[in-house]
A and B are shown apart, each in its own frame.
Chain A
Amino acid sequence: MKKILINYAHPAKSRSTVNRSLIKTTNSLEGLTVNDLYANYPDFLIDVEREQALCEAHDIIIFQHPFYWYSTPAIMKEWLDLVLEHGWAYGSKGHQLEGKIFLQAISSGADAETYQPSGYNEFTYAELTTPYRATAKLCNMTWLPPFVVSGVHRGLAQDELQKHTDDYLKTLTALRDDQIDLVLAGQQETLNSDLNSVIKAGM
């Protein structure tokens, strides 16, 4: 059983239905730690030692956050800037994150179709998240395409939200139990575009 760390970054949680629902579902999962960055560091003074210890103690590191401006909320950038130190995360002596899985779980305002060359947002999720893919690569982590909940702007119907929440729980469970086909998953546009195909048979 692998250990999962969710670094949760949302500056206005009380206004978010999607992320709240997603984070709530993780309660039922054993071996999972939620680290609420905005709650722990409201003044952005990130405790680097604590964060590094958390990363070291887990095998799968997930960043769950809204997809603000094709990117992350501010505190996550601060987190990356401070926590991923040379000699710890990267560099000839930095191997602490080696082999761990990197995953983003994002909620995006527009629908998934707009994130296509022909769509309104022009670029795909995979393209827009390349900085994080590169970050994971530099830290010798195994990168997975993001878990995406899209269309948040128009407001998701209750059953849609429930489906995403269930999928999220399924993904986390499979990751924890090492049931994701990492090679296959790495080729997907998003991790949950065809969830059942990347989960190993027997689940």
Chain B
Amino acid sequence: MEAFLLLLFIFLASAAIAVPVAKKLGLGSVLGYLVAGIIIGPFGISLIHDTEDVMHFTEFGVVMMLFLVGMELKPSLLWKMRLPIIGMGGSQVVISSLLITAIALFFIPWEQAIAVGLILSLSSTAIVLQTLQEKGLMETGAGRSVFSVLLFQDLAVIPMLAGLPLLTTLAIAGDGGHGAAFFDISTLPDYQRVIITLSAILLVLVLGKFATGPIFRTIASIGVREIFVAAALALVIGTSLLMMTVGLSPALGAFLAGVMLSDSEFRHELESDIEPFKGLLLGIFFISIGASLNFTLIGNNIALILGLTAGLMIIKWLVLVAISRVFKIDSKERSLFAIALAQGGEFAFVLFQFSRTHGVLPNDVIEPLISAVAISMFLTPLLFLLHEKLITKETNNTQNEADDVIKKSDQKVILAGFGRLGTDVGRFMLSAGIKPIILDHNAGNVSVLRKFGFEVYYGDATRLDLLESAGAAKADLLIIAIGDKERAIRLVELSRKHYPNLKIVTSASDRESEFEMMDLGVKAIHRETFGTALSLGQEAMQLLDIDPYEAYRLMRIFRKKDLEMTNELYKLRNQEESYIFYYQQQHKQLEQLMQLDNEEKLNEVDKAWNAKDPTL
């Protein structure tokens, strides 16, 4: 227990120190983790030694990451991406494998060369996606292309695991079986295995689509937050277990589950619950990669390993450049696409290990290659950095022009609160073609509105993590339509503090909370019932046979004066006497201004239309 806690403490503490430093230096969190791993590893200050188990455990972070990525992709979007996935991904894996195999043939037997070629064709989902997300590049054309290739690679791991044992030439060391969780289906006849595998995928799709809604709705209505987190984790872990049992990639299963949940109202809630676990696991995973770098081996074979690393990255880079040309990726995005995927990946560790135990590859082939893969992974964030420095300089000039073409409907709007007020605001925005991300924390309300076709997400908008996963960092505008006074103000505080550039327009329940929001620097505040009061008043006057246009003008004048008055009252809000005096004085003036039966003096309404003889 103590040993475990100590290990945990070392990992967490080193991350807590290294990542902020790396971020401050503009290096990104992945590099921070990797460096932290090197420092605390056996070749640094030697605080941790055998990291292989940790690495395997924390690899689960990749699964969670793919679950999260899946939730960002609606099935329709995924279907649209089928060509890039199969086309770009397929050609990347096939061509890279062939080239690497061809070169390896000069040094090792063909079975081993094929194995090495296949394994090295894969890139690092963990490092690349983490870095792309951190830099906000996932939504770009290059980001999508990169993701397509990574997704295909994840798929390709499955046939590789199945095919590698066919290349066995060496004596099998130790037990070769990959221990399945509950039972080993490899003992069953082929057709049964296929049926079981397909049913497992179907199960994930069907459960993800139909069962999760009611389950999460029930859990959400209980209102115990950690139970929701527990259910979310259970969902991801369960899916992974199921996939592993039938011999599929757990990352793929989690990805599919994520895709099925991309339409769910609980998407943002799930996202913000899983996100910290994913982050921590991946962080520790990166640390363990850093710690696993065998510097003795590297030192003794420095020329070989550096050569391998350079060769690997150059071959993959060339293949990617060619693919980006064939598939007509925008010329500005080609270089990012090519360097993003030029490294070896964490799957290489798994597959090398697998090849060792299955007697496909000997240790003296595996060791230098693993080092080369690790170094290439280490270099990737640095390459991103270099690319950023070189390329953004060039594109900076064109940035301004691009801004103008942003369509109104592309603007990102978050609507917090979808009750009586929010529903109408949302309908209004939607009918104008602006699609806000709508958050509401009443699970019953959300499911009813979903039936009407509103894209509403369950979640408490006053929670920072939920705001974050709803995209507050990238949003243009936050609309607050929350009736509860305290929660509305908390949301204003939160977004002012963490997203100072996010524009806010908000409703306020009364004058007091309006003042509090003004204290927080919000300009666009609308008292919740004021608009209704004005239209009621206007209609009332009309029913009293006051001319409709006059009633309308009076309403407008009253509204304008009230706005001016609010600003004055705000200044006097802490001095009760002058506040009340001013209030009464203003109302007297307003009465004079708007008096309907004021015969000798024209009221504000029709002063303008009573021109006098210009000769007078």
B partners with A = yes
Nearest CB in chain B: distance from A193 CB, A: 22
* Residue pair B612, A12 in contact (C-beta under 8 Å): no
19 interchain pairs, CB-CB under 8 A? A11-B549, A11-B609, A12-B605, A12-B606, A14-B547, A14-B550, A14-B606, A15-B602, A15-B606, A38-B548, A40-B548, A42-B553, A43-B552, A68-B609, A73-B609, A109-B611, A110-B613, A110-B614, A154-B613
* Residue pair B606, A11 in contact (C-beta under 8 Å): yes
Write the chain A residue with the least CB distance to B610. A15
Q: How far is the CA of A13 from the CA of B596 in the complex (A)?
A: 13
**Complex interface: chain B residues within 8 A of A93 (CB):** none
Write the chain B residue with the least CB distance to A69. B611
Interface residues in B557-616 (C-beta closer than 8 Å to A) = 602, 605-606, 609-615
Q: How far is the CA of A109 from the CA of B602 in the complex (A)?
A: 18
Nearest CB in chain A: distance from B598 CB, A: 11
**Complex interface: chain B residues within 8 A of A38 (CB):** 547-549
**Complex interface: chain B residues within 8 A of A39 (CB):** 547-549
* Residue pair A12, B615 in contact (C-beta under 8 Å): no
Nearest CB in chain A: distance from B600 CB, A: 13
Interface residues in A29-70 (C-beta closer than 8 Å to B) = 38-40, 42-43, 66, 68
Write the chain B residue with the least CB distance to A37. B549
Write the chain A residue with the least CB distance to B552. A42
Q: How far is the CA of A198 from the CA of B285 in the complex (A)?
A: 99
* Residue pair B613, A153 in contact (C-beta under 8 Å): yes
Q: Told that A68-B609, A110-B614 touch, could you supply 9 new A-B pairs with CB distance under 8 A?
A: A11-B609, A12-B606, A15-B602, A15-B610, A42-B549, A42-B553, A43-B552, A66-B609, A153-B612
**Complex interface: chain B residues within 8 A of A15 (CB):** 602, 606, 609-610
Write the chain B residue with the least CB distance to A15. B606
**Complex interface: chain B residues within 8 A of A43 (CB):** 552
Write the chain A residue with the least CB distance to B616. A153
Write the chain A residue with the least CB distance to B597. A14
Write the chain B residue with the least CB distance to A16. B609
Q: How far is the CA of A42 from the CA of B614 in the complex (A)?
A: 29
Nearest CB in chain A: distance from B554 CB, A: 10
* Residue pair B610, A12 in contact (C-beta under 8 Å): yes
Q: How far is the CA of A38 from the CA of B609 in the complex (A)?
A: 13
* Residue pair A12, B550 in contact (C-beta under 8 Å): yes
| A109-B613 contact in complex given A11-B549, A14-B547, A39-B549, C-beta closer than 8 Å | yes
Nearest CB in chain B: distance from A26 CB, A: 18
Question: Does B118 touch A at the CB level, under 8 Å?
Answer: no
Q: How far is the CA of A15 from the CA of B603 in the complex (A)?
A: 11
Q: How far is the CA of A81 from the CA of B324 in the complex (A)?
A: 53
Q: How far is the CA of A153 from the CA of B612 in the complex (A)?
A: 6
Q: How far is the CA of A12 from the CA of B614 in the complex (A)?
A: 20
Interface residues in B502-531 (C-beta closer than 8 Å to A) = none
Q: How far is the CA of A43 from the CA of B553 in the complex (A)?
A: 9
Write the chain B residue with the least CB distance to A12. B606
Q: B420-445: contact bitstring with A at CB < 8 Å (1 yes, 0 no)?
A: 00000000000000000000000000
Write the chain B residue with the least CB distance to A151. B613
Q: How far is the CA of A66 from the CA of B611 in the complex (A)?
A: 11
* Residue pair B548, A42 in contact (C-beta under 8 Å): yes
Interface residues in B528-560 (C-beta closer than 8 Å to A) = 547-553
Complex A-B, nearest 5 residue pairs according to Cβ-Cβ distance, in ascending order: A12-B606, A42-B552, A38-B549, A153-B613, A12-B609
Number of A-B contacts (CB under 8 A): 44
Q: How far is the CA of A12 from the CA of B552 in the complex (A)?
A: 12
Q: Which applies to chain A's interface (DSSP): helix, strand, loop or mixed?
A: loop
Q: How far is the CA of A73 from the CA of B610 in the complex (A)?
A: 12
Nearest CB in chain A: distance from B311 CB, A: 70
**Complex interface: chain B residues within 8 A of A40 (CB):** 548
Nearest CB in chain B: distance from A77 CB, A: 15
Q: How far is the CA of A13 from the CA of B550 in the complex (A)?
A: 9
**Complex interface: chain A residues within 8 A of B609 (CB):** 11-12, 15, 66, 68, 73
**Complex interface: chain A residues within 8 A of B549 (CB):** 11, 38-39, 42
**Complex interface: chain A residues within 8 A of B602 (CB):** 15
Residue from the list A13, A73, A109, A153 in contact with B547, Cβ < 8 A? A13
Q: How far is the CA of A42 from the CA of B557 in the complex (A)?
A: 14
Q: How far is the CA of A68 from the CA of B614 in the complex (A)?
A: 13
Q: How far is the CA of A38 from the CA of B550 in the complex (A)?
A: 9
Residue from the list B551, B611, B615 in contact with A42, Cβ < 8 A? B551
Nearest CB in chain B: distance from A20 CB, A: 11
**Complex interface: chain A residues within 8 A of B606 (CB):** 11-12, 14-15
**Complex interface: chain A residues within 8 A of B613 (CB):** 109-110, 153-154
Nearest CB in chain B: distance from A192 CB, A: 22
Q: How far is the CA of A12 from the CA of B611 in the complex (A)?
A: 12
Q: A87-118: contact bitstring with B at CB < 8 Å (1 yes, 0 no)?
A: 00000000000000000000001100000000
**Complex interface: chain B residues within 8 A of A110 (CB):** 613-614
Q: How far is the CA of A13 from the CA of B609 in the complex (A)?
A: 10
Q: How far is the CA of A154 from the CA of B612 in the complex (A)?
A: 9
Interface residues in A8-31 (C-beta closer than 8 Å to B) = 11-15
Write the chain A residue with the least CB distance to B609. A12
Write the chain A residue with the least CB distance to B611. A109
Nearest CB in chain A: distance from B450 CB, A: 33
**Complex interface: chain A residues within 8 A of B611 (CB):** 68, 109, 153
Q: B263-301: contact bitstring with A at CB < 8 Å (1 yes, 0 no)?
A: 000000000000000000000000000000000000000
Nearest CB in chain B: distance from A167 CB, A: 23
Nearest CB in chain B: distance from A23 CB, A: 13
Write the chain A residue with the least CB distance to B555. A42
Q: How far is the CA of A109 from the CA of B612 in the complex (A)?
A: 8
Write the chain A residue with the least CB distance to B549. A38
**Complex interface: chain B residues within 8 A of A109 (CB):** 611-613
Interface residues in A71-91 (C-beta closer than 8 Å to B) = 73
Write the chain B residue with the least CB distance to A10. B609
**Complex interface: chain A residues within 8 A of B550 (CB):** 12, 14
Q: How far is the CA of A120 from the CA of B615 in the complex (A)?
A: 9
Q: How far is the CA of A42 from the CA of B555 in the complex (A)?
A: 11
Write the chain B residue with the least CB distance to A66. B609
Q: How far is the CA of A73 from the CA of B553 in the complex (A)?
A: 15
**Complex interface: chain B residues within 8 A of A12 (CB):** 550, 605-606, 609-610
**Complex interface: chain A residues within 8 A of B547 (CB):** 13-14, 38-39
Q: How far is the CA of A43 from the CA of B538 in the complex (A)?
A: 12
Write the chain A residue with the least CB distance to B550. A14
Write the chain B residue with the least CB distance to A14. B547
Q: How far is the CA of A154 from the CA of B614 in the complex (A)?
A: 11
Q: How far is the CA of A73 from the CA of B550 in the complex (A)?
A: 15
Q: How far is the CA of A44 from the CA of B389 in the complex (A)?
A: 54
Q: B177-204: contact bitstring with A at CB < 8 Å (1 yes, 0 no)?
A: 0000000000000000000000000000
Nearest CB in chain A: distance from B601 CB, A: 12
Q: How far is the CA of A42 from the CA of B542 in the complex (A)?
A: 11
Q: How far is the CA of A153 from the CA of B552 in the complex (A)?
A: 27
Q: How far is the CA of A188 from the CA of B606 in the complex (A)?
A: 34
Nearest CB in chain A: distance from B91 CB, A: 54
Nearest CB in chain A: distance from B570 CB, A: 29
